[in-house]
C-alpha cells in the first residue's frame, strides 16, 4: 500500500450534499457553523404509536430538480439522494464525463439499509393485493447497489462501480475503497460516499424496539447531544454525501480546484457484538492508528477529529476512551466535534457527510461545534467544541465512523499543498 501512496496522491475536487440542513455543501456548511439543528417531528408517517416521534428529515428535496421525471419515478428516495448529490459534486468539480474519459471515472457509493421506502410500500401491496400487483421495478429500486449503479447510468461512468454496505461505517468504507481504486491505477477519478433514506415506519420501529433512539419528544431539537451527560440515544437522519476524488496528476492536468488531500484510511473490526462497540475502544483506536500510519502521520499532528459521536450512552464514552488510548496527552489538545448533534445519524451517509465536514474544516480553518452540549460527563472529558464554531488552523482532520457489526472506518484529510511527494 505504501508504494501506491508514494506514487499516487488522492485529492478532493468536488462535493455534493443532500442534508437536513439544506442541499449543496455551502448550505450544509453554513448550517453547521451556525449550530442549527435539522431535527423536527417526523412528517412522513403517523408516529402516534411510536416511542420516538422525530428525526432529521430532508424536507426541501425535489428529485426533479436533479433527475428526469420519468427516471426519478424508477428510483427509491435513497437512490434519488445519491444521484442528486453526485450531480452537485460533478458540477462542483467542473468535471465533464466524455467518451474519452468515461472508463477512467468510477463510483463507490453505499447505503447501510437500501431502498426501505420501496420495500415497505410494495410489501404492503403484496399482503393486501397479492403477488401479481408487485411492480417489476421492485428489485432494481430496492437493492442497495443501485445507489451506485444508477449514478453510473445517469452520468455515464464506466470505471469501477460498487456499493459497500457496512452499516454506519458505509460512507467511510466507500471512500476507503475509492482511495484504493485510484492508488492502484484502476481509475483516475472516483465518486465516493454514502446515502440513506430510512426514516420509514419499519426502520424507525426497529430502532425504537432496540431502544437506540432518543425519546426526547417534547424537545426534538435538543435531543441529539453527543458527549453530554444527559444523552439518551441517537436521532435518525437521512441524506447523502458524495466526494469527487482524483489522482492528483489528473486534477492538476485539468486545472481543477482542490479542496484537500485524502491522506489515508484505516479499517478494522471490533469482533465483539452485533450492536455495541468494544467497551475499551480497541477497534476504534486501531482504526485511527492504521489511518494515521497509512497517511504517514503521528497522532500529535491531528488538529481536528469529526467524531462518530452518536449521542448514545454506550457509544460516546467508548469513542472517548479510544481517542485517549491512541492520542495520550494530545487527546486533550485536539478539537473534537460531532455533526450528528445537528443532522442526526444519517447511517450509511454519515461517514461521507462527515468526511465532507473534515474537508471543509481543513479548507477553511473552521471547526463546527457539537451543539446541545450542556452537562459535562466525567467519562467524556475532552474538547468537544461545545455549542459554538471555532476558527483554528486545521492541517490534519480525522473522520471516525463505526457501524453495527463492529465495523470501524477512519479517513484522514490533509490540507492540500502543491509540493509533490
Active site residues: 168, 308, 345
The set of cell numbers assigned to 395 is 492541517
SS3 label, residue 116: helix
Pairing of strands 304-306, 396-403: parallel
- Residue 198: closest CA among 115, 140, 137: 115
| CA dist., res. 34 & res. 298, Å (int) | 31
Q: How many CA atoms lie within 13 A of 314 on its CB side?
A: 12
| CA dist., res. 92 & res. 225, Å (int) | 32
Place of cell 464554531: 389
| CA dist., res. 393 & res. 391, Å (int) | 7
Phi and psi torsions of 366, nearest 5°? -130, 145
At a CB cut-off of 8 Å and minimum separation 6, what does 121 contact? none
Amino acid at each position: 500500500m505504501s508504494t501506491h501512496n508514494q506514487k499516487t496522491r488522492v485529492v478532493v475536487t468536488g462535493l455534493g450534499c443532500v442534508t437536513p440542513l439544506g442541499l449543496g455543501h455551502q448550505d450544509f456548511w453554513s448550517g453547521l457553523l451556525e449550530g442549527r439543528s435539522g431535527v423536527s417531528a417526523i412528517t412522513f408517517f403517523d408516529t402516534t404509536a411510536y416511542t420516538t416521534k422525530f428525526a432529521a428529515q430532508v424536507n426541501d428535496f425535489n428529485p426533479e430538480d436533479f433527475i428526469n421525471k420519468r427516471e426519478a419515478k424508477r428510483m427509491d428516495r435513497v437512490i434519488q439522494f445519491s444521484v442528486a448529490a453526485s450531480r452537485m459534486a460533478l458540477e462542483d468539480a467542473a468535471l465533464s464525463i466524455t467518451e474519452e474519459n468515461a472508463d477512467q471515472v468510477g463510483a463507490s457509493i453505499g447505503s447501510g439499509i437500501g431502498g426501505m421506502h420501496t420495500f415497505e410500500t410494495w410489501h404492503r401491496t403484496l399482503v393486501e393485493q397479492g403477488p401479481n400487483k408487485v411492480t417489476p421495478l421492485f428489485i432494481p429500486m430496492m437493492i442497495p447497489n443501485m445507489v451506485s449503479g444508477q449514478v453510473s447510468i445517469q452520468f455515464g461512468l464506466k470505471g469501477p462501480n460498487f456499493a459497500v454496505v457496512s452499516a454506519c461505517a458505509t460512507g467511510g468504507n466507500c471512500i476507503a475503497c475509492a482511495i484504493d481504486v485510484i492508488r492502484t491505477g484502476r481509475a483516475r477519478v472516483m465518486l465516493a460516499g454514502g446515502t440513506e433514506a430510512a426514516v420509514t415506519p419499519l426502520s424507525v420501529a426497529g430502532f425504537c424496539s432496540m431502544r437506540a433512539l432518543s425519546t426526547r419528544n417534547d424537545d426534538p431539537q435538543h435531543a441529539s447531544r453527543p458527549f453530554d451527560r444527559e444523552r439518551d440515544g441517537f436521532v435518525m437522519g437521512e441524506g447523502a454525501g458524495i466526494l469527487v476524488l482524483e489522482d492528483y496528476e489528473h486534477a492538476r492536468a485539468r486545472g481543477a480546484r482542490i479542496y484537500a488531500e485524502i491522506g489515508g484510511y484505516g479499517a478494522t473490526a471490533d469482533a465483539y457484538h452485533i450492536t455495541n462497540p468494544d467497551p475499551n475502544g480497541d477497534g476504534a483506536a486501531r482504526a485511527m492508528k492504521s489511518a494515521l500510519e497509512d497517511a504517514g502521520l503521528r497522532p500529535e499532528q491531528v488538529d481536528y477529529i469529526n467524531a462518530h459521536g452518536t449521542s448514545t450512552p454506550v457509544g460516546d464514552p467508548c469513542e472517548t476512551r479510544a481517542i485517549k488510548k491512541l492520542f495520550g496527552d494530545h487527546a486533550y489538545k485536539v478539537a473534537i466535534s460531532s455533526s450528528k448533534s445537528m443532522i442526526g445519524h444519517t447511517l450509511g451517509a454519515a461517514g461521507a457527510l462527515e468526511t465532507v465536514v473534515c474537508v471543509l474544516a481543513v479548507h477553511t480553518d473552521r471547526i463546527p461545534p457539537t451543539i446541545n452540549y450542556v452537562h459535562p460527563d466525567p467519562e467524556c472529558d475532552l474538547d468537544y467544541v461545545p455549542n459554538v464554531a471555532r476558527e483554528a488552523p486545521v492541517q490534519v482532520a480525522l473522520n471516525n465512523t463505526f457501524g453495527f457489526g463492529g465495523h470501524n472506518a477512519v479517513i484522514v484529510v490533509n490540507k492540500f499543498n502543491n509540493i509533490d511527494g
